[in-house]
Structure 1
Amino acid sequence: MNVIVKIAGSIVFVFLCSCSVQPGGKLKKEQWVLGGFERSKGINPIIEPDTSSVFYDPILKKEIRWEDNDTFNPAAVVKGDSVYVIYRAEDRTGKAIGHRTSRLGLAASADGIHFERQKTPVFYPASDEQQDNEWPGGTEDPRLSQTEDGRFVLFYTQWNRKVPRLGLAISTDLKHWTKYGPIFKKSKNRPTLVDEPHKSASIVTVMKGNRQVIAKINGKYWLYWGEHGVYGATSDNLIDWEPVTDKKGELIAFISPRDGYFDSSLTECGPPAVLTDKGIVLLYNGKNHAEKGDKRFNKNTYSAGQGLFDPRDPTSVLARMDVPFLRPMESFEKSGQYIDGTVFIEGLVFFKQKWFLYYGCADSKVAVGIYDPGDPSVMDPLP
């Protein structure tokens, strides 16, 4: 099997010593971890709720202040000479997380830091064939990537307040989208998965020159997904996906929560994974279990970790960080509608020779961390 794993020569990976080599893995103390990411002083948060944004909702048939409660969990992509962020926004129709309606807004930046936002959402529940999957909870938690021929691929959670499902949409301009519905609707390996709760998709990408584009592994598109474990799926057309299962049709978790660690409750996939010369680097969100977690971190807090997978066998874990590289430290990361503290990573782009990581803060705002391969910052310190 031939796999292209070369990347642009300017990209450097900094090794963090606190990581585990998985059983059977051959990786020793080599450089593979992406980061550290620095929070620029006085910049964050870069996107906050806006009470002035008004949108005519096609289902409710009335004007809604669609982003006046919370703006968080952003995806990102580079288009031309700008960074575009698609972020989740909640209105005030409910009183708790998951009980409001979510829509997706669009913001653009020439420097990756200062953004101009559209006043109306670019992606939302409508009177279409996906309404039963997306209403009334909405469209949540986007992940965004780009094909080599310039199409933008959006994975997101369809939330009808019954079953969360991974949906997919494709656009050529980031403003007009074609919805393709649940990604597992045609699954033969596990036909029931489409009606089982599932979310959080991280498609594998690769650097080609200075462009981060969707990659193929063994001739197929490859996706990591899941929150209670990291699972996998493959596709021939980007639209219809087959989960990786065993002979009995059971899902196979490559990474699972670990007692005593920052990811003891959840291991939820983050932004698009990156195929490098060391392997496939997956950035993910770890939730600390209230009783069985790492006592150094707050109960139920979300922090960010990384795992390394074999590019010849994407189900095989080569290494995994034992401590987070990014954790709630700033006030805006520890105060919001999620009071236990959250950095929730969903957007990663290579822009102007640096990596920009976009993340949600306490389910309320959006921030960015920047990794300069030529002058890397340190990882977030332990408490």
Structure 2
Amino acid sequence: MNTGPVRFPLGPFTPYEGNPILTPQGDGWESGSVYNPAAVVVDGRVALLYRAHSDDIVSRVGLAWSDDGITFHREPDPVLSPSEDYDRYGVEDPRVTRVGDTYYLTYSGWDRRTALLCLATSPDLRTWTKHGPMFPDFDTFQPGGHGEPGPWSKAGGILAQPVDGTYLMYFGEGSIWAATSPDLLHWTPVTRDDEPPIMAPRPGTFSDFLVEVGPPPLVTDDGLILLVHNAATKNPDGSVRYTAGQLLFDPQRPTEILAELTRPWIEPTTYEDLNGLVSNVTFVEALVWFQGRWLAYYGQSDSTLGVAAFRPGDRFSDLQA
């Protein structure tokens, strides 16, 4: 569980000048792209669960470890791979939350037609039990829709602390929604997909094309909930640009936004951010408190993996310190 100070807005974050910290390697399962990781601190080390694929773009999840939060050593084999009809062409974009002795991993199962938000659990980050799609009939792109009939869901961030005995998760690509659970395994959307979402794209803002849940939410020092979200705008040529924002909620009214950033806290600036499989992307799925600073891990243009840091009390973070 993250234990550092949490205040809204969190930051400013400074990207590490040595990014990317992970890149494709070899000629196998992670030879094409390495990006969009989940992260958790385990026994004084950062564990990174990262998405990777070869040129076939069938994603798997790998595991890497770091003593300093920057230099990672990868385990040789993926820890989560396609095995079911609903994820046969990819297990994508993980987020992880630890509650007690169990790790709860949400990920997108991809069958080249439909993306479905799925759940897996593990006692050790290496052996995972899949629990299947969480919302098999839900379209998180509502009210706008995703251009095709049928369900679509991605991006689940589980709050580690229960609220009045019930667990809370924010989820969704396109728009942002909420769900609750008594046991972390069985989840029910707070609203139906024919009702308004918590947050939909905002015309004229940095989220005017879509919004999507980022890392698992955090409880702030004053008891509110901080949710980091990804956001996208669409360019005239049809390409997209991904940045990230932050939202604030009252735990007693978790579907009503109290406050939000009006400009991104991270956005594409470096060569890797601006060029890749899908260019102009900084996509954040991991946020951990480690060695006195917040570390945000993010995908760079769906190709490489970067990190940015914020040390509370400093005007600008220094990853070299």
TM over 0.5: yes
User: Which of 139, 142, 146 matches 2:98?
Assistant: 146
CA distance in 2, matches of 1:333, 1:372: 23
Question: Is it true that 1:268 corresponds to 2:190 in the alignment?
Answer: no
User: Which of 264, 289, 297 matches 1:324?
Assistant: 264
1:184–1:240 CA contact under 8 A, matched in 2: no
Residue 145 of structure 2 corresponds to which residue in structure 1?
Answer: none
Q: Deviations over 1:345-383 (max 9, x none)?
A: 0011111221110000000000001110131428xxxxx
CA distance in 1, matches of 2:86, 2:182: 24
CA distance in 2, matches of 1:235, 1:272: 15
Question: Is it true that 1:227 corresponds to 2:176 in the alignment?
Answer: no
Q: Deviations over 1:178-236 (max 9, x none)?
A: 11111135xxxxxx3286111111112xxxxxxxxx11123211011111111011111
Residue 17 of structure 1 corresponds to which residue in structure 2?
Answer: none
CA distance in 2, matches of 1:220, 1:346: 23
Instruction: Give how far 1:151 is off.
Output: 1.1
Residue 84 of structure 1 corresponds to which residue in structure 2?
Answer: 47
1:273–1:281 CA contact under 8 A, matched in 2: yes
CA distance in 1, matches of 2:310, 2:130: 33
Question: Is it true that 1:304 corresponds to 2:247 in the alignment?
Answer: no
Instruction: Give how far 1:12 is off.
Output: 5.3
Taking only aligned residues, the RMSD between alpha carbons, in angstroms, comes to 1.8
User: Which of 183, 186, 191 matches 1:245?
Assistant: 191
Residue 56 of structure 1 corresponds to which residue in structure 2?
Answer: none
Question: Is it true that 1:36 corresponds to 2:12 in the alignment?
Answer: yes
After superposing on structure 2, the runs of 4+ consecutive aligned residues of structure 1 that deviate more than 4 Å are none
One-letter amino acid of the counterpart of residue 79, structure 1: V
1:243–1:251 CA contact under 8 A, matched in 2: no
Q: What are the ranges of 5 or more consecutive residues in structure 1 without an aligned counterpart?
A: 1-6, 14-31, 53-64, 94-99, 186-191, 205-213, 292-297, 379-383
Instruction: Give how far 1:171 is off.
Output: 0.7
One-letter amino acid of the counterpart of residue 11, structure 1: P
Would the alpha carbon gap of residues 50 and 334 (structure 1) be closer, same or farther in structure 2, given more than 3 Å must change? same
Question: Is it true that 1:119 corresponds to 2:76 in the alignment?
Answer: yes
CA distance in 2, matches of 1:12, 1:77: 16
Structure holding more strand per residue: 2
Residue 156 of structure 2 corresponds to which residue in structure 1?
Answer: 201
CA distance in 2, matches of 1:358, 1:47: 11
2:29–2:60 CA contact under 8 A, matched in 1: yes
Question: Is it true that 1:256 corresponds to 2:200 in the alignment?
Answer: yes
Aligned length: 304
CA distance in 2, matches of 1:141, 1:221: 21
Residue 50 of structure 1 corresponds to which residue in structure 2?
Answer: 25
Instruction: Give how far 1:105 is off.
Output: 0.7
One-letter amino acid of the counterpart of residue 282, structure 2: V
Structure with max Cα Rg? 1
Instruction: Give how far 1:321 is off.
Output: 1.1
Would the alpha carbon gap of residues 12 and 77 (structure 1) be closer, same or farther in structure 2, given more than 3 Å must change? closer
One-letter amino acid of the counterpart of residue 64, structure 2: A
2:115–2:152 CA contact under 8 A, matched in 1: yes
CA distance in 2, matches of 1:251, 1:81: 43
Question: Is it true that 1:108 corresponds to 2:65 in the alignment?
Answer: yes
Q: Deviations over 1:242-264 (max 9, x none)?
A: 01225xx6243111111111110
CA distance in 1, matches of 2:13, 2:126: 29
One-letter amino acid of the counterpart of residue 183, structure 1: M
CA distance in 2, matches of 1:184, 1:227: 13
Instruction: Give how far 1:290 is off.
Output: 2.5
SS of equivalent to 2:35 = strand
1:69–1:92 CA contact under 8 A, matched in 2: yes
Give aligned-pair identity as a percent.
Answer: 38
User: Which of 144, 161, 171 matches 1:215?
Assistant: 161
CA distance in 1, matches of 2:55, 2:307: 25
Would the alpha carbon gap of residues 193 and 12 (structure 1) be closer, same or farther in structure 2, given more than 3 Å must change? closer
Question: Is it true that 1:353 corresponds to 2:316 in the alignment?
Answer: no
One-letter amino acid of the counterpart of residue 309, structure 1: F
Range moving further from structure 2, 273-282 or 109-118: 273-282
SS of equivalent to 2:82 = coil
Question: Is it true that 1:287 corresponds to 2:226 in the alignment?
Answer: no
2:6–2:218 CA contact under 8 A, matched in 1: no
Instruction: Give how far 1:327 is off.
Output: 0.3
CA distance in 2, matches of 1:251, 1:357: 32
CA distance in 2, matches of 1:241, 1:66: 32
SS of equivalent to 1:254 = coil
